[in-house]
């Protein structure tokens, strides 16, 4: 019988369920409830119709046009869509999100979803000789990569209010000398660190060790650390098209970092898969970046629904954390997360619960459209009373 020793270190990530047995309202995987903008659909249709040969030949391995479009979008939005100032199709950063320099395409690396990008970042910057530091509760794919690449990890418990224990993370990072990663805002809690708090961390962290901030959710109301790239050469910011850019199905993610670090990750990519982003996804991603006004509007609507459902949960006696993301993390005394999930599923809606010790009481609820959230309210009233 064939066995594989490598399997011992593999503990695959389990994504939010995508059931096929019936049509559910999906509020379990932090996807965007809105489709990509019309310009994306038009660009993709036109591309496949007029350039069929572009699907017969290899795409641009380095997605150069996409990188230029991503850089441009970040310069126009400050990297926080929900606060961007929109006037018709014109978009500019809010005062607090202004980036004090211009992001250039050589500061961008992109890949097949930020999951793949993260995996290459782990491979490039962490190694088996030193522990890297991460919060105990954060994106649950990080420990999966650690197992895959055989990198030891040092997990730091959250504080009592579920926020990051930044002092403890720093002191462990100093002991280990192996780098830091966390999501900001964090998942599944929804709590963000202010840019100044991250700056303080970076100032006392070892400048020769990598410092990775995963900004998957920052467009819904957090503070981006992109402005800190001018001050800190060890900072890598990871972002995705899956949440705020309505494109989880396209599989597009990227990093923003100094060009030297971008080159390192590009070398990893070219040692695994030259062409992680197909020709169609490159076109779709570029068109999305050219229309940030649309996604800013979507992010604002989602944030509004999130805050209004926060109030609803409070009224219903839930413990619920104020969120800067597109989801809420909540629990109610005497109600198990899994039981609530099952009861809501029976009403035709999917939310997420966790079997991880310490957060089994919680559910994570993605903010959807007004109509979806109204259906969810009805289901909660029926189930909770």
Ligand X SMILES: *Cc1c(COP(=O)(O)O)cnc(C)c1O
> Can you list the alpha helix ranges (DSSP code H) found in 60-160?
64-77, 113-125, 142-149
In the bound complex, what is the minimum distance in angstroms from residue 275's beta carbon to ligand X?
17
Which string of x and - marks every residue 19-58 that binds ligand X (by CB under 6 A)? -----------x----------------------------
CB of 253 to ligand X, least distance (A): 4
Write out the two tokens for 313.
């949960």
In sequence order, what DSSP letters do the residues of 80-91 get, joined into one string?
Answer: -GGG-EEETTEE
Q: Does 313 bind ligand X (CB under 6 A)?
A: no
Nearer to ligand X, 114 or 224 (CB): 114
Q: x/- binding map, residues 130-169, to ligand X, per CB under 6 A?
A: ---------x------------------------------
Taking the complex as a whole, the smallest distance from the CB of residue 30 to ligand X amounts, in Å, to 6
Applying CB under 6 A, which of residues 59, 192, 253, 292 lies at the interface with ligand X? 253
Answer for the pair 284, 36: CB distance below 8 angstroms, yes or no. Answer: yes
Q: Which stretch binds ligand X (CB under 6 A): 62-70, 113-121, 220-228, 272-280?
A: 113-121
What are the CA-CA distances from residue 101 to residues 104, 155, 229 (Å)? 9, 34, 9
| 213 contributes a contact to ligand X by CB under 6 A | no
Closest distance between ligand X and the C-beta of residue 113, in Å? 3
Q: Cβ closer to ligand X: 359 or 379?
A: 359
Single residue of 248, 280, 383, 384 touching ligand X by CB under 6 A: 248
The whole-angstrom separation of Cα 23 and Cα 308 is 25
Closest distance to ligand X from the beta carbon of 241 (Å): 7
Pick from 189, 240, 244, 291 the residue near ligand X by CB under 6 A.
Answer: 240
Residue 115's nearest CA partner among 29, 6, 13 is 13
* 242 binding ligand X? (CB under 6 A): yes
Query: Using CA atoms, how far apart are residues 280 and 29, in angstroms rounded to an integer?
Result: 24
- Contacts with 55 (C-beta within 8 Å, 6 or more apart), sequence order: 48, 279, 280
Binding mask 164-203 for ligand X (x = CB under 6 A): -------------------x---x----------------
Interaction between residue 214 and ligand X (CB under 6 A): yes
- What kind and span of H or E run contains 303? helix 292-315
Show the tokens assigned to 256. Answer: 């923003």
Q: Distance between CA atoms of 79 and 72, rounded to whole angstroms?
A: 10
Residue from 59, 78, 105, 113 that binds ligand X (CB under 6 A)? 113
63: alpha, beta or left, given left = phi > 0 and alpha = psi -120 to 50? left
> Does 114 help bind ligand X (rule: CB under 6 A)?
yes
Cβ nearer to ligand X, comparing 139 with 380? 139
Residues 6+ apart with CB under 8 A from 29: 15, 16, 18, 248, 352, 366
- Which span (3-11, 112-120, 197-205, 376-384) binds ligand X, by CB under 6 A? 112-120
Q: How far apart are CA 260 and CA 295, in angstroms?
A: 30
Give the residues lining the site for ligand X (CB under 6 A): 30, 113-115, 139, 183, 187, 214, 216, 240, 242, 248, 253
């Amino acid at each position: 019988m064939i066995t594989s020793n490598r399997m011992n270190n593999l503990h695959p990530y389990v994504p939010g369920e995508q059931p096929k047995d019936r049509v559910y309202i999906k509020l379990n995987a932090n996807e965007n409830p809105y489709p990509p903008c019309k310009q994306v659909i038009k660009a993709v249709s036109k591309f496949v119709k007029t350039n069929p040969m572009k699907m017969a030949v290899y795409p641009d391995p380095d997605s150069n046009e996409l990188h230029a479009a991503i850089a441009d979008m970040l310069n126009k939005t400050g990297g926080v869509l929900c606060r961007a100032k929109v006037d018709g199709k014109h978009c500019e950063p809010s005062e607090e999100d202004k980036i004090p320099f211009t992001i250039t395409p050589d500061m961008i690396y992109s890949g097949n979803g930020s999951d793949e990008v993260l995996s290459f970042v782990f491979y490039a910057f962490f190694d088996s000789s030193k522990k890297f530091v991460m919060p105990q509760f954060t994106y649950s794919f990080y420990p999966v990569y650690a197992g895959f690449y055989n990198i030891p990890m040092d997990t730091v418990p959250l504080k009592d209010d579920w926020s990051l224990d930044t002092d403890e993370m720093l002191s462990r990072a100093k002991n280990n000398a192996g780098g830091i990663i966390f999501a900001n805002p964090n998942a599944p809690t929804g709590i963000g660190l202010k840019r100044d708090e991250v700056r303080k961390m970076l100032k006392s962290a070892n400048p020769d060790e990598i410092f990775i901030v995963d900004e998957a959710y920052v467009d819904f109301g957090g503070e981006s650390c992109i402005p800190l790239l001018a001050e800190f050469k060890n900072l890598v910011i990871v972002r995705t098209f899956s949440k705020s850019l309505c494109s989880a199905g396209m599989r597009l993610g990227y990093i923003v970092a100094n060009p030297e670090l971008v080159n390192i990750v590009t070398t990893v990519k070219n040692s695994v898969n030259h062409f992680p982003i197909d020709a169609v996804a490159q076109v779709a991603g570029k068109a999305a970046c050219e229309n940030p006004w649309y996604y800013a509007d979507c992010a604002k609507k989602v944030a509004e629904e999130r805050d209004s459902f926060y109030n609803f949960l409070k009224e219903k006696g839930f413990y619920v954390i104020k969120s800067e993301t597109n989801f809420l993390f909540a629990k109610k005394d005497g109600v198990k997360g899994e039981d609530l999930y099952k009861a809501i599923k029976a009403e035709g809606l999917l939310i997420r619960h966790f079997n991880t010790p310490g957060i089994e009481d919680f559910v994570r609820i993605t903010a959807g459209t007004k109509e979806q959230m109204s259906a969810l309210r009805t289901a909660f009233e029926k189930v909770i009373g």
